[in-house]
Amino acid sequence: MDQSAAPASAHRPVQLSGRLAVGGLLLAGLAWAVRGVWEIRLAMAGEPAAGPPDQGNGVHRPLNSLENSYHLVTSVGGALTLLCAALFLSWLLKLRENARALSGDTPKYLGIWVFLGWIVPVVNLWFPRGIVVDAFRSSAPGRRLPASVNVWWGLWLIGLLTGVGIVYRDSTDQIIARAYTEGWPLQLCDALVVAAACAGAFAVRAVTAAQVERLRAARPTGTRVAEVL
């Protein structure tokens, strides 16, 4: 069943949502770049004579000014990451709904997986990418999947499987201690997160553009759909 000529009111405002998702990804990438700069500063300053902030057995020494500022940087970065996640999921929901309206087919993945697909073990290795790919192919049948989608997902998986980047398992004080003693792995992880965010921005832009092109081609002659794009 082809519903490519579905009324404009059936389509969700994916273009604006895509722009917001791109902005969120770039802000998150910037936040992690700043985090990397602070970790370089910690490495250059060297560990204080008093030792790491977390001294074990529940004992924490007072933080110096650089360590306090790193806590602030990570807190801001965490807030921007949450904002990025909200904007990305909003875009993905709209993309999925528009793809269903355009193709008339039932999406391959249930709507709940738009959220749970990121956190349920094992399926989180491919469900989120699969949702994006399914929506793209329903929106632009016959077109080649943008390479940025695979680059973004590959970089995301590196972070997921190695426990680096935005999925750090260590506390902030533990990361400070690592910055003093093993700075380069942290900086490499930060670079991967920044690269994943940038690739994600390109992926969102490319997938959104393909769907918007199809929506504009499918609109009835003489109608205006700018408001829903």
The string of pLDDT tens digits covering residues 2-18 is: 444 444 445 778 999 99
User: Does the pLDDT at position 79 exceed 90?
Assistant: yes
Structure confidence by residue, pLDDT tens digits, 137-179: 999 998 999 999 999 999 988 877 776 545 556 788 889 998 9
Mean pLDDT on 75-79: 93
State the pLDDT at residue 189. Answer: 85
pLDDT at 197 (0 to 100):
95
- The pLDDT-based confidence of 83 (bands split at 50, 70, 90) is very high
Domain boundaries, the chain: 8-224
pLDDT at 220: 60
DSSP 140: S
The per-residue pLDDT for range 28-56, each reduced to its tens digit, is 999 999 999 999 999 999 999 989 998 88
Query: Which DSSP symbol is given to 106?
Result: P
Q: Is the pLDDT of residue 60 over 90?
A: no
What pTM did the predictor assign?
0.86
Distance of CA 147 to the CA centre of its chain: 16
DSSP line for 157-170? HHHHHHT-GGG--S
Helices (H), the chain: 14-45, 65-103, 113-116, 127-139, 147-162, 172-181, 183-218
Phi and psi dihedrals of 31, rounded to 5?
-60, -40
